[in-house]
Copies of this chain bind each other. A is one copy, B any other.
């Protein structure tokens, strides 16, 4: 561990790899899972979620369009990530640096690209709390609305997608604002920090746009219809 940073604590020397090197993590315990194994287990979880969601929509609404099937899968997937993975962070943020649970080790690995997850940063905890406990459950409700063709689907989809985009833009903005919380290697910056978060900008932007267009179309249709009797009267 040639590049490990030694940080002096009141009682012991704590070695960690996070940036900036001056952050104090007295309760830090190194991961015991290797990076490929952690990522493989996370990938397997993602695949299970996507597969399970696909099977569900195929069973409950077999004649759903391909677009609705994919939207259902996305909402189940993002709901799970918010309500379980991100909620895990919110509940455990104070002790995360010492965790050896799967989600704990995943967050510690991710934190190499943003150490604020290990220091209970006020913005990160608040934003993640809203993401976990508002956007998480609402994503499942949207999935239900897609399955049942409920008229609340598009306003809810607009709300959650905008919430995800806004949270993500603030996340990028605050972390790039002054000091760097990311290790200098490109892998951490581009793969963990840019790529993973960018998913939650690009996909919600697609669904926000979709809902916006659908809602405007609905009002236009109603407007045209209500225009006729007005002319007659």
Spell out A's residues near B (CB within 8 Å): 122-123, 125-127, 129-130, 149, 151-155, 158-159, 162-163, 166-167, 169-170, 173-175, 177-178, 208, 211-212, 215-216, 218-223, 225
A174 partner residues in chain B, CB cutoff 8 A: 122-123, 126
Residue of B nearest to A170 (CB): B126
A177 partner residues in chain B, CB cutoff 8 A: 122, 125-126
A155 partner residues in chain B, CB cutoff 8 A: 158, 211-212, 215-216
Integer count of this chain's copies in the complex: 2
CA distance A141 to B153 in the complex (A): 25
A175 partner residues in chain B, CB cutoff 8 A: 122
Q: Is the CB of A169 within 8 A of B216?
A: no
A126 partner residues in chain B, CB cutoff 8 A: 169-170, 173-174, 177
Q: Is the CB of A151 within 8 A of B211?
A: no
A180, chain B: closest CB distance, angstroms? 12
